Structure formats: structure tokens, C-alpha cells
Chain A
Amino acid sequence: MNYLDFEKPIIELEKKITELSELNISDDDVLTPEIERLRNRVIELRKSIFSNLTHWQRVQLARHPDRPYTLDYIYKIMENFIELHGDRCYSDDKAIVGGFATFKGQSVMVIGHQKGRDTKSRKYRNFGMPNPDGYRKALRLMKSAEKFNIPIITMLDTPGAFPGLEAEERGQAEAIAKNLREMALLTVPIVTIVIGEGASGGALGIGMGNEVYMMENTWYSVISPESCSSILWKTWDYKEQAARALKLSAPDLLELNVIDGIIKEPLGGAHRDYNAAAQELSGQISESLKRLVKKKPEQLKLERIEKYSSMGAWKDTKKKS
């Protein structure tokens, strides 16, 4: 089992409980209350740790190797998923998956970054870092959804667009830029959820939803805390300060009016209970779709453009404050 430093006390207690439960002692009178006591202690501990998470701890949770990824959620909350491959230009990028599916009886196009779980699959998925081909595949699928008047769900979970030689050669910047422009103009609903890491343009490249949500333990920022530290502090050592300064947590983004809401995760994080996490996610998607499918195509497009046009913070010296 994988666990983070700050999860360690919880994991140790849980181990103890398992050990005690597995002891073949017939004297239940002694053991049961002890196990009960430990179980309560675990709940208390979890509550206290998870109600005071630092920005950096949220980043760590968002990267937890046991965390559910796009395909996990798709299989939990959707049916009839038909994965569609390739950008029709160059390749099929494995770091972005997508396809049509049924969600509570409604046809949807679902697209998301995909990470791998073990060494082999991590490499296969390029650690969730798409090449331009991934963004072009995503756009192709979105256009297909628009053609058939089907809403789009996108799930963001990437440490960034891949900074490789071929990625530059094939136009990483152009691919992302084009996605931003074309997504803005789509006439079907788009619901976007940050399910893990929302690293910069690599995340935004499939993230221009009419409504955007973040799972509770995720991050979304213009740069990773590590890279920010290396550029602004000239060393990698200030990642915790950088995480704090970047205000990259879900509550921060809600306050900055960049997202529309936060999706609750089970206590201890989504990785501790896939079903509970998936259920919360499903609830939000369903609520958003209900609202968005009522809107006319032009309205969806215009509202999306207006949403992003209003973002940012500046002083308007023409306005009297």
C-alpha cells in the first residue's frame, strides 16, 4: 500500500487493528472494546489531519499513486464506454483518453488525462503528460460530440503538457492554443472536473468547461509548486512555500471565481474509497448536465466566452470605486 508521510499514523493504527482482528483469541471481551477504541481513534485522527491540510499536502494527495484516475471514474459512473483513438494526424496519445458513453441514460462524450498505475503503465501513459497528438485527439472527439449534439465531460489530471523535443516539433503550443479557441466556440455543454493535478496549459487544454469543478484534494495552477520554486527562489527547496503562495487549492480557486464548486471526497481522500468519490462526482455531473442541457447552443457558447472573459483581477481606473 502506498501512503504519504502525513498518512503514516493512520496507516499504522489500521495495521494494528488488522493484526488484532486476525489474532485467534477467543476472549472477545478484551479484544472487541480495544479494536473499537482503535477504530474510533482512526476516525478522530483522520478528521484532525484532513481538516487541517496544508497546500502542499493537497498537492501530495492529488498525486497519490492510489488515487482514482479518469478511466476508474468512467467505469464507476458510466456505461457503454466506447473508447475512440487517434488524432487522425500522427498518433494515438495514451496520456489522454476519450470516447462516447452513457451517463444516467444520457449520451456523453467523456475525455480525460490518464495516468498509469505501475512502472509499465506509467510509461505507457507518459505519466499523464500529453503530446500535441493528445490535444488534437481531444479536439477531434469534442467536434464529434458537437456534431451529434452530445454534451462533453472532461476530467483533468496532468502534471503538465509533455516538454519534449517531438512535442515542440509537432506544435505543443499550437495544439493547446487551438483547443482553447475551439472549445470556447463549441455549442454543446462542457462540464470540467479537476480530479487530480491541474497543471497549467496542459490541463486547461481540455478544460474550458461551461462549469468547472475541483475534487476536494486537487490542485490547479499556472505552474507546479516545484517549478515555481526553481524559477522564483532559484532552488527546488521552496515547494511548500510556493504551493501556499500560488493559492492552488480548491477553496482558493472558488474564492477567485475560477471554479463553480468543490466536490467532496470521502474522509482520507478519494483513494481511500473509490465508490464514495465516484458517487460524489456523479452527483455533480448529473446536476450540472441537468442545468446545461436546457440551454440553447448559442447561449452555451456565449456564456462560456463570457465566463472566461470575466476572469482575472485588475484595477479599472475609469470606474469609480
Chain B
Amino acid sequence: MNEEDYDMSWFERKHSNIVTTSPKEMPEGIWVKVPSTGETVHRRELEENCWVDPASGYHFAIGSGDYFSLLFDEDEYEELGQHIQPEDPLAFKDRKKYAERLKEMQEKTGLSDAVRVGTGKMRNMDIVLACMDFRFIGGSMGSVVGERIGLAIDHARENKKPLIIISQSGGARMMESVLSLMQMAKTSAKLGQLHEAKIPYISVLTNPTTGGVTASFAMLGDFNVGEPGALIGFAGPRVIRQTIGRDLPEGFQTSEYLLEHGFLDFIVPRNKMRNRLARLLKILNHGYRKTK
């Protein structure tokens, strides 16, 4: 896990008729400051544009609820995996008890852990969507995240529905130590089965996606897709800087950098995501149905 904030700007914008709001995770007030430019923008303008700044293209962080509204038709979906709830297997304590941290996080965010899974329709196609929440202990992957992602993969495989996973994570959850490490093994093994079953899997990497999440399911998409300017990497920039003892090149570990180095298929601004992903799945659909 690392705790780095990254601000990047890019230039693409398009209005969309999808309104996403989630007051809990958004800055308060009518005017919102854009971190990358220092400019202010009207809150409603952001809400109407999937929390992408129309002027600079800066993508504000949004949560699973927003992505569900963004991708599912009419915001309708059936949620899966809420019966899987976190516990504290190691009775872990650093400066704070993990059990307390969990409870606090749940109260603060209204979420039970750092990922939610839903199944529903996107542009009339059945999909399974898992979406992480960075707000919940840095979007870290513990047993519940691994198990819910696993459930999403199984559901996609058993019901022959395409899978989309939206990642935003600092990596593995330290407070579950080796059990969280093994979630990398679990999710990757299950994706192996999905791969063999030839069900499409799109991995969407948003800001930030690092550590054990990148080094497992987030990099294993048939298609790896980035949001503009997202920090994506294995090790955090600070650790790398310390290791090599020099400054990192500009734009290092951004979506654009990964695209350039061959690890993303394409970058898509949030307000175009739904159309782009739907178009891709539609093309695949025609292929595999016909060959059966």
C-alpha cells in the first residue's frame, strides 16, 4: 500500500446526460476548486459531467455508487456479495485496532468494504460490474475485496456475462497480512478460469491503482483501460525515488505513460466510458455468439 496523491491534467471533454452525485465523497459547497489548475468550477457543472472538470479535463475521484449510475442502464442493478463482510482475523493493531478502523470506515463511508459488485444491463447487454472504493482504507484489498471480486468473476463465468472491474486501490491491505496477499492469488486464479471460458473481461484502472491490485486482477483484463491521468503502478513513486536516488520523469506511472509503454489498450475519459465499453463488448458479442 502506498499513499500518494497525484494531480494530472489532460484535455478531453464531452457532456453526458448521466448525472452522478454522491455527496459524501465530494467536496462541500457550490464552488469546487480543481486541484490541477487552482480554478473554481460550479458544482452543478461537475455533476452534469461525471465529475470531470469541463475546462481542464481533471477527473475528480468518484465512488462505486457513481460508477454504477454511470454504467448501468437507468441505474438499475442487483447487488451481489453483501453477505461477505469483513472481520479481523489477525487481531491486528498498529496505532489503532483494525477492528475499530473497519467500524469507523463503515460509519464514515456507508460502505461495508472497499468493493461492491452489481449485475445489470449496460446499453442493454448483461454485465457484471465490480467497483472499488478508494475511500475505504485506501481501496485496499483484504479478504472481503478478494472474495467479492472472486464472486463477481464466478458469476460472470457461470452466467456467461462480460465482466468489468473498476479499480482504485493503494494495494493489499496490510492489516490482513498474508491473507490479503493470497487474494492476489485467488482473483488471478479465478480470472484464469474466466479466461479459459472465453468470457470478456475489461479492467478499468482509475486514480490510483497500485500495488497488489495492479499486480493481480487490474492488469489481467482482455482489455486494460485507463482513466486519463490516473496513477497506475506496482511500487509507489516515493519508494521508487528512494530506491533509485533520483527524480522520476514527468508523467511517470500515469495512464498516458502506461499506454505509451504498452500496458493499456486505450484511455477513455469518464464521460465517454459507457459508450466506449459498450461498443467494445458489442463487437465481441457478435464474434462469440456466431462462432458457437
Residues of A within 8 A of B (CB): 161-165, 167-174, 176-178, 180-182, 184-185, 200-201, 204-205, 208, 220-223, 228, 231-233, 238, 241-242, 245-248, 252-253, 256, 258, 304-305, 308-309, 311-318
Q: Looking at the complex, which one of B85, B176, B184, B236 makes contact with A201 (CB distance below 8 Å)? A: B184
The proximity string for B residues 58-93 relative to A, scoring 1 for CB distances below 8 Å and 0 otherwise, is: 000000000000000000000000111111011011
User: For B248, what are the chain A residues with a Cβ–Cβ distance below 8 Å?
Assistant: 165
| Contact in complex: A247, B85 (CB < 8 Å) | no
Chain A binding surface, main DSSP class: helix
Q: Looking at the complex, which one of A222, A228, A305, A318 makes contact with B190 (CB distance below 8 Å)? A: A305
Least Cβ distance of B40 to chain A in Å? 33
User: For B51, what are the chain A residues with a Cβ–Cβ distance below 8 Å?
Assistant: none
The proximity string for B residues 214-241 relative to A, scoring 1 for CB distances below 8 Å and 0 otherwise, is: 1111111000000000000111100110
B150 at the interface (CB under 8 A from A): yes
Q: Looking at the complex, which one of A171, A185, A248 makes contact with B178 (CB distance below 8 Å)? A: A248
Least Cβ distance of B187 to chain A in Å? 8
Q: CA of A277 to CA of B262 in the docked complex: distance in angstroms? A: 44
User: For A205, what are the chain B residues with a Cβ–Cβ distance below 8 Å?
Assistant: 215
Choose the segment among B12-20, B30-38, B192-200, B281-289 that binds chain A (4+ C-beta atoms closer than 8 Å).
B192-200
Least Cβ distance of A231 to chain B in Å? 6
| Contact in complex: B240, A308 (CB < 8 Å) | no
| Contact in complex: A185, B196 (CB < 8 Å) | yes
User: For A238, what are the chain B residues with a Cβ–Cβ distance below 8 Å?
Assistant: 94
Which A residue's beta carbon lies closest to that of B210?
A173
Instruction: List the 4 shortest-distance A-B pairs measured between CB atoms, nearest first.
Output: A312-B143, A163-B235, A180-B188, A313-B89
| Contact in complex: A174, B143 (CB < 8 Å) | no
Least Cβ distance of A202 to chain B in Å? 9
Least Cβ distance of A134 to chain B in Å? 13
| Contact in complex: A248, B177 (CB < 8 Å) | yes
Q: Count the A-B residue pairs with Cβ separation under 8 angstroms: how many?
A: 202
B11 at the interface (CB under 8 A from A): no
Q: CA of A232 to CA of B176 in the docked complex: distance in angstroms? A: 13
| Contact in complex: B90, A247 (CB < 8 Å) | yes
User: For A228, what are the chain B residues with a Cβ–Cβ distance below 8 Å?
Assistant: 94, 174
User: For B183, what are the chain A residues with a Cβ–Cβ distance below 8 Å?
Assistant: 311-312
Which B residue's beta carbon lies closest to that of A166?
B244
| Contact in complex: B89, A256 (CB < 8 Å) | yes
Which B residue's beta carbon lies closest to that of A302?
B193
B118 at the interface (CB under 8 A from A): no
Least Cβ distance of A247 to chain B in Å? 5
Other 14 A-B pairs with CB < 8 A, given A180-B188, A314-B143? A163-B235, A167-B234, A168-B235, A169-B261, A172-B234, A200-B181, A204-B182, A223-B1, A241-B94, A245-B90, A311-B182, A313-B176, A314-B86, A318-B83
Q: A176-B234, A312-B186, A314-B85 are known contacts. Are A231 and B215 too (CB-CB below 8 A)?
A: no
| Contact in complex: B174, A246 (CB < 8 Å) | yes
Least Cβ distance of A243 to chain B in Å? 10
Which B residue's beta carbon lies closest to that of A231?
B1
| Contact in complex: A222, B212 (CB < 8 Å) | yes
B144 at the interface (CB under 8 A from A): yes
